[in-house]
């Protein structure tokens, strides 16, 4: 265990409440003491069994103490005390296992919570560049790998304390044997370091395997229509089973390493014990010393095994811990400022993006190059242009999803940054080509925008969004929309999403290709709804030629990240 590993372990254990740490420490110490004392009880028991004969050869203090105890308690009393000690240790170990599991959960849950919060608080640009299946696998599965590492770490700390007590007992009986045993134990730990390195490599394989499996399953289940239409069911099933195979190979290799190192350690322990007995017998060491030493030795080997396999599992969990640490660090570095206490002011005159430049990571040319666009308050602007011109990027700037690399977003001449920028985001609403609905009732989907919205307000929003059909459904607002709203048509989904946006009373409504996947009827229904909103809020429509762009007060053309013109709708966009 290197210094950095110890520091990392201490850092992880910091999320265990102090009371729990105190309980763990007390239980660990009490369990270890009961173990040591129980083993040492052999000495007075042997003395009582042999009427003092076997006391010869014991260190002076041990001979007199065991003789006194044997005389005072008798064999029956000593046996009863021994049984009581074993029973007490069983209770202590039961409580210890519970305390260790609770501590493990405390660490894991704290990590999960911190990672989740860090992700939720990170900026959109950072989040949109991430592979979310990696984050899901970390939050759901890898934290349990980390939990296993923590549990083993706590177990190995218990083994260290118990080994220490057992060693002290051995030292009291025979210092030389105890020192030789300690050196042997350290040599074993050093020799077994290659198993731990191997376990760490396998830990990396498991992290990769879990990520690949999660990514594959998530992508496949999210693309079922595509898979079915291309007849790719077999290929998808094969890819999943290949991913499962790779993961299982890594997991089985870990079991093999653990079981192999255990078999080696226990066999080496047996050989060492045989040697000790042999040498002791040859040198005429008395039974009174030899028997308790053998018992202490026999107990030390499994404890050493727990220690070694604990270190091995800890090494195995390290890659998952490193993944979590790195994600946490990156997400925290991309953290957005906290929301301002007061809501952002509604624009009276204009919302403007000025001299804005945006460079996406890994791209040579900027997505937006020194763009200035002013949206008069209450106006409706259509933004058109070829694919990749930068329309969505510009809409993201207006909606304050992120700040430009250069330039500003301002409302009525006041530049927005930091918390004000995040606050403005709350007052704008987006409608994308594929609306986001949650697998719950329409009521809950609407209330997602405003939890205190009443029935009448919801109905009004639905009517304004040309979504009155909801009220005619057999279960009305309580209709469950299905996974991502798949129990509704695309147009119905989009109109419910518009109603949800309106419920939040947005100052800026952005429709990014909101009707491009809809038929003429739904396009017209959304257009009717938007016509009713004109003048009530500022509207920015992105799209190719259609009912919505035709309704705009003006049309702005974007080309290669620059404003290419303003006025009439270009004939080919």
Ligand X SMILES: Nc1ncnc2c1ncn2[C@@H]1O[C@H](COP(=O)(O)OP(=O)(O)OP(=O)(O)O)[C@@H](O)[C@H]1O
Instruction: Decide: is 515 part of the binding site for ligand X (CB under 6 A).
Output: no
Q: At what angle do helices 18-40 and 60-121 cross, to 10 degrees?
A: 150
| Alpha-carbon Rg for the chain in angstroms | 35
Q: Which H helix or E strand runs over 353?
A: strand 350-358
Smallest gap from Cβ 438 to ligand X, in A, equals: 24
Q: Which one, 46 or 389, has the nearer CB to ligand X?
A: 389
Q: Which one, 297 or 430, has the nearer CB to ligand X?
A: 430
Q: What is the DSSP string of 113-149?
A: HHHHHHHHHB-HHHHHTS-HHHHHHIIIIIHHHHHHH
Smallest gap from Cβ 449 to ligand X, in A, equals: 24
Q: Which one, 207 or 331, has the nearer CB to ligand X?
A: 331
Smallest gap from Cβ 496 to ligand X, in A, equals: 23
Instruction: Decide: is 196 part of the binding site for ligand X (CB under 6 A).
Output: no
Smallest gap from Cβ 234 to ligand X, in A, equals: 32
Instruction: Decide: is 572 part of the binding site for ligand X (CB under 6 A).
Output: no
Q: Which one, 35 or 396, has the nearer CB to ligand X?
A: 396
Binding mask 127-166 for ligand X (x = CB under 6 A): -xx-------------------------------------
Instruction: Decide: is 199 part of the binding site for ligand X (CB under 6 A).
Output: no
Question: Does residue 479 contact residue 473 with C-beta atoms inside 8 Å?
Answer: yes
Instruction: Decide: is 68 part of the binding site for ligand X (CB under 6 A).
Output: no
Q: Which one, 391 or 493, has the nearer CB to ligand X?
A: 391
Question: Does residue 297 contact residue 167 with C-beta atoms inside 8 Å?
Answer: no
Q: Between residue 361 and residue 380, which ones bind ligand X under the rule CB under 6 A?
A: 361-363, 367
In the block, residue with structure tokens 């879990």: 210
Instruction: Decide: is 103 part of the binding site for ligand X (CB under 6 A).
Output: no
Choose the binding region for ligand X from 12-20, 86-94, 276-284, 382-390 (rule: CB under 6 A).
Answer: 382-390
Residues found in the chain: 573
Residue 308 CB-half CA count within 13 A:
27
Q: Which one, 2 or 387, has the nearer CB to ligand X?
A: 387
Instruction: Decide: is 390 part of the binding site for ligand X (CB under 6 A).
Output: yes
SS (H, E, C) 245-257: HHHHHHHHHHHHH
Instruction: Decide: is 387 part of the binding site for ligand X (CB under 6 A).
Output: yes
Binding mask 250-269 for ligand X (x = CB under 6 A): --------------------
**Burial (CB count <10 Å: 0-12, 13-18, 19+), residue 93:** middle
Q: Between residue 474 and residue 513, which ones bind ligand X under the rule CB under 6 A?
A: none
Instruction: Decide: is 546 part of the binding site for ligand X (CB under 6 A).
Output: no
Instruction: Decide: is 516 part of the binding site for ligand X (CB under 6 A).
Output: no
- Measured between alpha carbons, how far is 307 from 315 in angstroms, rounded to an integer? 12
DSSP state of 366: -
Smallest gap from Cβ 411 to ligand X, in A, equals: 22
Q: Which one, 114 or 360, has the nearer CB to ligand X?
A: 360
Question: Does residue 509 contact residue 429 with C-beta atoms inside 8 Å?
Answer: yes
DSSP state of 441: B
Q: Which of 124, 114, 119 is nearest to 12 (CA)?
A: 114
Scored b (16 or more CB within 10 A) or e, 312-351 reads: bbbbbbbbbbebbeebbeebeebebeeeeeeebeebeebb
Smallest gap from Cβ 123 to ligand X, in A, equals: 12
Scored b (16 or more CB within 10 A) or e, 422-438 reads: bbbbebbbbbbbebebe
Binding mask 42-61 for ligand X (x = CB under 6 A): --------------------
Q: Which one, 361 or 456, has the nearer CB to ligand X?
A: 361
Instruction: Decide: is 360 part of the binding site for ligand X (CB under 6 A).
Output: yes
Question: Does residue 399 contact residue 358 with C-beta atoms inside 8 Å?
Answer: no
Binding test (CB under 6 A) with ligand X, winner from 393, 538, 557, 573: 393
Binding test (CB under 6 A) with ligand X, winner from 89, 316, 323, 391: 391
Tell me the pairing of strands 508-512 and 538-542: parallel
Smallest gap from Cβ 433 to ligand X, in A, equals: 9
Q: Which of 464, 466, 426, 459 is nearest to 442 (CA)?
A: 459
Choose the binding region for ligand X from 39-47, 194-202, 249-257, 358-366 (rule: CB under 6 A).
Answer: 358-366
- Interface with ligand X (CB under 6 A), residue total 15
From residue 360, alpha-carbon distances to 58, 267, 288, 562 in Å are 78, 59, 78, 15
Binding site for ligand X (CB under 6 A): 128-129, 360-363, 367, 385, 387-393
């Amino acid at each position: 265990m290197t210094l950095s590993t110890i520091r990392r372990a201490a850092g992880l254990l910091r999320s265990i409440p102090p009371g729990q740490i105190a309980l763990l420490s007390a239980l660990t110490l009490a369990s270890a003491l009961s173990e040591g004392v129980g083993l040492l009880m052999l000495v007075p028991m042997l003395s009582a069994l042999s009427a003092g004969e076997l006391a010869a050869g014991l260190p002076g203090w041990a001979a007199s103490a065991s003789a006194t105890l044997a005389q005072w308690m008798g064999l029956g009393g000593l046996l009863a005390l021994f049984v009581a000690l074993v029973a007490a240790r069983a209770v202590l170990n039961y409580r210890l296992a519970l305390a260790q599991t609770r501590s493990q959960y405390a660490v894991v849950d704290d990590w999960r919570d911190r990672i989740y919060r860090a992700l939720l608080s990170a900026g959109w640009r950072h989040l949109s560049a991430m592979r979310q299946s990696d984050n899901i696998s970390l939050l759901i599965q890898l934290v349990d790998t980390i939990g296993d590492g923590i549990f083993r770490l706590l177990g190995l700390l218990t083994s260290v304390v118990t080994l220490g007590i057992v060693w002290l007992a051995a030292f009291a009986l025979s210092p030389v044997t105890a020192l030789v045993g300690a050196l042997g134990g350290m040599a074993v730990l050093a020799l077994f370091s290659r198993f731990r390195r191997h376990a760490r490599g396998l830990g990396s394989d498991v992290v990769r395997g879990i990520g690949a499996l999660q990514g594959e399953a998530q992508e496949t289940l999210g693309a079922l229509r595509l898979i079915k239409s291309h007849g790719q069911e077999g290929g998808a099933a094969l890819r999943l089973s290949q991913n499962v195979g790779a993961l299982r190979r890594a997991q089985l290799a870990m079991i093999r390493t653990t079981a192999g190192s255990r078999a080696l350690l226990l066999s080496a322990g047996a050989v060492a014990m045989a040697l000790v007995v042999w040498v002791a017998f040859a040198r005429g060491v008395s039974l009174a010393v030899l028997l308790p030493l053998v018992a202490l030795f026999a107990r030390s080997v499994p404890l050493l095994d727990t220690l070694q396999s604990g270190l091995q599992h800890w090494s195995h969990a390290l890659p998952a811990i490193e993944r979590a640490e790195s994600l946490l660090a990156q997400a925290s570095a991309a953290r957005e400022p906290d929301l301002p206490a007061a809501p952002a002011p509604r624009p009276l005159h204009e919302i403007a993006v000025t001299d804005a430049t945006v460079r996406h990571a890994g791209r040579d040319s900027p997505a937006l190059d020194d763009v200035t666009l002013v949206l008069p308050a209450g106006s409706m602007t259509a933004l058109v242009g070829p694919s990749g011109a930068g329309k969505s990027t510009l809409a993201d700037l207006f909606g304050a999803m992120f700040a430009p690399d250069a330039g500003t977003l301002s409302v009525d001449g006041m530049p927005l940054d930091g918390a004000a920028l995040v606050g403005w985001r709350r007052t704008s609403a987006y409608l994308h080509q594929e609306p986001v609905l949650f697998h719950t009732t329409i009521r809950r989907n609407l209330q997602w925008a405003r939890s205190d919205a009443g029935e009448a307000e919801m109905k009004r929003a639905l009517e304004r969004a040309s979504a009155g059909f909801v009220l005619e459904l057999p279960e009305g607002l309580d209709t469950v929309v299905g996974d991502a709203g798949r129990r509704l048509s695309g147009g119905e989904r989009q109109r419910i999403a518009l109603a949800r946006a309106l419920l939040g009373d947005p100052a800026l409504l952005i429709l990014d290709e909101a009707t491009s996947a809809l038929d003429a009827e739904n396009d017209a229904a959304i257009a009717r709804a938007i016509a009713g909103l004109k003048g009530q809020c500022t509207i920015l429509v992105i799209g190719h030629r259609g009912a919505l762009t035709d309704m705009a007060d003006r049309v702005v053309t974007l080309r290669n990240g620059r404003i290419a013109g303003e006025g009439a709708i270009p004939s080919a966009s």
